[in-house]
Amino acid sequence: MPSTNVEFVTELMEFSAHGALIQAFVMQALEQYARRVAETDPQALDTPMVSGRAWHGCAVEVRDKLARRLGRTNENQPATAPTQER
């Protein structure tokens, strides 16, 4: 049976030929992708499978949580995703 995404990422982070360096690599990859998606217009992210607003919201959440964890702040970026009407 294939592993879950959580199990895969945990294994990736804990067992690497490159030791703990893999953790820095994965965190930087998350940070860069989240920043790039957060800077994109949510409508441009729409796909038949995923709402662009939801994908953008995920990116903003990850970007902000990583910024807090890493002690980084950027006054040009909102702390949270824009309010979305329901």
Band of pLDDT at residue 74, cut at 50, 70 and 90: low
2: three-class secondary structure by DSSP? coil
Name which of 82, 58, 79, 55 is nearest 68 in CA terms. Answer: 79
Within a domain: 11: no
Within a domain: 1: no
Within a domain: 68: yes
By residue range, what is the domain housing residue 34?
A: 23-86
Asked whether the predicted pLDDT for residue 78 surpasses 60, the reply is: no
Asked whether the predicted pLDDT for residue 17 surpasses 80, the reply is: yes
> What does the pLDDT look like over 44-72, one tens digit per residue?
999 999 999 999 999 999 999 999 998 98
* Total number of domains in the chain: 1
% of the chain surpassing 70 pLDDT: 85
pTM: 0.78
Within a domain: 12: no
Within a domain: 53: yes
Within a domain: 14: no
Structure-block tokens of residue 65? 């949580």
Within a domain: 49: yes
